[in-house]
Amino acid sequence: MGTHNYNLSEQFEFAGKAKTLSIVAIVIGIAAIVYGFLDHALHERTFSNLLLMAYYFACVCMSGAFFLAVQFVAQAGWSASILRVPQAMARTLPLAAIILIVVCGLGLYTHDLYHHWNAPGLTDESSPNYDKLIAGKAVFLNVPFFLGRQVVFLGVYSIFAMLLVKLSANEDLAGGLNSYKKSFKYSCIFLVIYGFTTPIFAFDTIMSLEAHWFSTMFGWYNFAAMWVSSLAIMAIIIVLLRKNGYMSWVNNSHLHNLGQFIFGFSIFWTYVWFAQFLLIYYANIPEETVYFYKRFESFKFWFFLNLVLNFLSPVLLLMDRDNKRSDNKLMFVSILVLIGHWVDYYQMIMPGTVAEEAGFGFIEIGTAVGFVGLFTFTVLSNLAKTPLVAKNHPFLQESLHHHL
């Protein structure tokens, strides 16, 4: 390998067309939400789309922090030169957390979300709406405890995310190993907390939309979805930065690593999805099969599109080594994966909220576009606050000379 004189003080400038388009996208999103709320019959559908995108937004930002923690605990060298991208996502997590908590809180208050366990009379034995199963879960599924868990989980994730970002900034200023050692220690703590609480977070936010049904695999199914989505977003941002003349130190071997992760965890997502489906299909217990029956009968198109985008596309297109190392092909697959996991969340949420009244139109497209604009604006704004490389990271030279 030859020697290179990289500009380790290189800084991204968020301006021009990217900034303008992100603002336009936010405006489209606001218009879609306002349109949905102006028609009372569309309130529940609008809330469902808000939950979908707020959850998606929070999950990819959480996974940005998770990526940082994994790299520190693994003492990975290859990723040292690309950490600013997941750091920008982690820095955005507090905003994403607030949005998700507000959406959940308003959805509970209006009964447009979580009405399966939050409707009046469900836990009152004298009420004609009494539901013995929901009453049995009332200790866990009640509004104060539900929102309290949301605040605690997302608050803890945000604290650790900001802590890891701050330590990286301190490392840039002071050098040495002090900040890196602290990052390692806090990452170990964060990963334990994250591993135990993300399944509960998924149970609360998504699975409780249909509180009669439950699956112990649901948390890991959601983890796989949020993790592979965040990897796809990182790949897209890095490829676009390279195309615009930034991060010249990122080579095809870095892309290869990201491609391997996307390939591998797409298979892991499929394994968890199929294991959950197969166990329920084989057992054929009515209270379990109702979940997939509803999706297979009323949402059949989305059901199979989910598998095509999230399993067949990444596996077939990223199986080839050269495709993992190609900017355009990796970005194409990453976009398919992001769309695929929107479909995945659509499948998780819509049958339990709006059911047959679900649709695909301006509300769905506009809300998604709006959150994409918000994500782009906030993450790229955060990316522009610091140099694009952690110049005093102890494994930086290993990353700059990474070769597979």
pLDDT, one tens digit per residue, over 167-222 is 999 998 888 899 999 999 999 999 999 999 999 999 999 999 999 998 999 999 99
| Structure-token match 């290993």, residue found | 398
> How many Å apart are CA 387 and CA 250, to the nearest integer?
15
Q: What is the mean pLDDT of residues 116-143?
A: 88
Which residues 6+ apart lie within 8 Å of 88 measured at CB? 64, 379, 380, 382, 383
Q: Which tokens sit at 177?
A: 């190993």
| Structure-token match 């649901």, residue found | 218
- How would you label 125-144 residue by residue, b for 16+ Cβ within 10 Å and e otherwise? eeeeeebeebeebeeebeee
Q: Note the pLDDT of residue 356.
A: 83
**The model scores a pTM over 0.85:** yes
Work out the end-to-end distance of the chain between its first and last CA atoms, rounded to an integer number of angstroms. Answer: 12
Which position has the higher pLDDT, 15 or 73?
A: 73
What tens digit of pLDDT does each residue of 287-342 get?
888 899 889 888 999 999 999 999 999 999 999 999 999 999 999 999 999 999 99
Q: What is the mean pLDDT of residues 104-110?
A: 93
Q: Which tokens sit at 47?
A: 């809330």
Cα atoms found within 13 Å of the Cα of residue 231, Cβ hemisphere only? 25
Cα distances from 202 to residues 195, 291, 304, 345, in angstroms, run 12, 16, 23, 11
Q: Note the pLDDT of residue 1.
A: 41
What tens digit of pLDDT does each residue of 216-263 get?
999 999 999 999 999 999 999 999 999 999 999 999 999 999 999 999
Strand partners, 387: 11
Q: What is the mean pLDDT of residues 110-133?
A: 87
> How many Å apart are CA 157 and CA 197, to the nearest integer?
10
> How many Å apart are CA 94 and CA 51, to the nearest integer?
16
> DSSP secondary structure string, 238-278?
HHHHHHTT--TT--HHHHHHHHHHHHHHHHHHHHHHHHHHH
Asked if the model's pLDDT at residue 2 lies above 50, the reply is no
Residue 36's pLDDT band (boundaries 50, 70, 90)?
very high
Asked if the model's pLDDT at residue 43 lies above 80, the reply is yes
Q: What angle do the packed helices 43-74 and 327-353 form, to 10 degrees?
A: 130
Q: What share of the chain is helix, strand, coil (3-state, %, to 5)?
A: 75, 0, 20
Q: Note the pLDDT of residue 394.
A: 94
Asked if the model's pLDDT at residue 30 lies above 90, the reply is yes
